[in-house]
Amino acid sequence: MKKILIVSLLTVAVFQLMKAQAHPVSPSSKIGILVNGGIVNTYMFNPPFFWVRCIEGCTPEYQQWKKGIVFNLGLSYQLNERHYLYLSGGYSSFGFKEKVIQFEFPNGREDKKSWKFIGLELGHQFNILITDEMKFFLANGIRPEMTVQDEYDVLKKINLSYSGRLGIEYAVNDHFGITFNGLFKSALLKYNKSDRVGFYNDYLPYGLGLELGAVIHR
């Protein structure tokens, strides 16, 4: 009887040790390193946007979607099993394609407009569903961003946007995961300067796209 009890206790101890090694818990595990990037189709609310003052001619025949890219690097902090806060910084772009009718181009001239930004995003992630290997999440963030490339001199230097993500995180192991998500990014305020004249409407860009990334749990 004593041998059976000793064997049982040893078995329980071994299983507990294996479980602890498979799922280590420490204060530092609440911190995560985030990296992601993707492609976004960008356009605008209430088009057209007349990006240059034109006395005559140069009326846009149409304006349409243009692809842009996003890239972010940041940190996350786990509040509990379902809630995370994150802070990330990175690069993004907005733009559009257009066809303009001009006197010297009676059949129209196609062109692309693009603006580039660097920003800092503060957000919250909620894990909607958690399984052994997968997390299905919803994330929302606010992003102040600075215009870093504007050859047309039409945008404000500092702008504000919203980022919404819906996706999954696949746990490769206890310390590394791969993320895949959809992204919606939208201006919260107009991006064009108030002192500019000649716009049809204010420039309020938005984008829809996909991101691929990684999470390192320290």
Overall average pLDDT of the 62-68 stretch: 83
**Extents of the domains making up the chain:** 25-217
Overall average pLDDT of the 137-146 stretch: 97
Categorize the per-residue pLDDT at 39 as very low, low, confident or very high, splitting at 50, 70 and 90: very high
Q: Give the distance, in angstroms, between the CA of residue 47 and the centroid of all CA atoms in the same chain.
A: 24
Average pLDDT, the chain: 81
Categorize the per-residue pLDDT at 87 as very low, low, confident or very high, splitting at 50, 70 and 90: very high
Is residue 117 within 8 Å of residue 94, measured between CB atoms? yes
Options 3.40.50.300, 3.90.1310.10, 2.40.160.20, 3.30.70.3270; CATH for 25-217 is 2.40.160.20
Predicted model pTM: 0.77
Overall average pLDDT of the 42-49 stretch: 82
Q: Is 14 helix (H, G, I), strand (E, B) or coil?
A: helix
pLDDT in tens, 176-203: 999 999 999 999 999 988 765 555 678 8
How many CB atoms are closer than 10 A to CB 73? 14
Please report the pLDDT score of residue 149 as a whole number.
83
Percent of the chain with pLDDT over 70: 74
Instruction: Dump the DSSP string for 90-139.
Output: EEEEEEEEEEEEETTEEEEEEEEEEEEEEEEEEEEEEEEEE-SSEEEEEE
Is residue 152 within 8 Å of residue 132, measured between CB atoms? no
Give strand pairing partners of 208: 41, 184
Categorize the per-residue pLDDT at 103 as very low, low, confident or very high, splitting at 50, 70 and 90: low
Query: Of the ranges 27-41, 44-58, 203-217, which one carries the lowest mean pLDDT score?
Result: 44-58
Higher pLDDT: 57 or 73? It is 73
Residue 57, Ramachandran bin (φ over 0: left; ψ between -120 and 50: alpha; else beta): left
d(CA 34, CA 72): 8
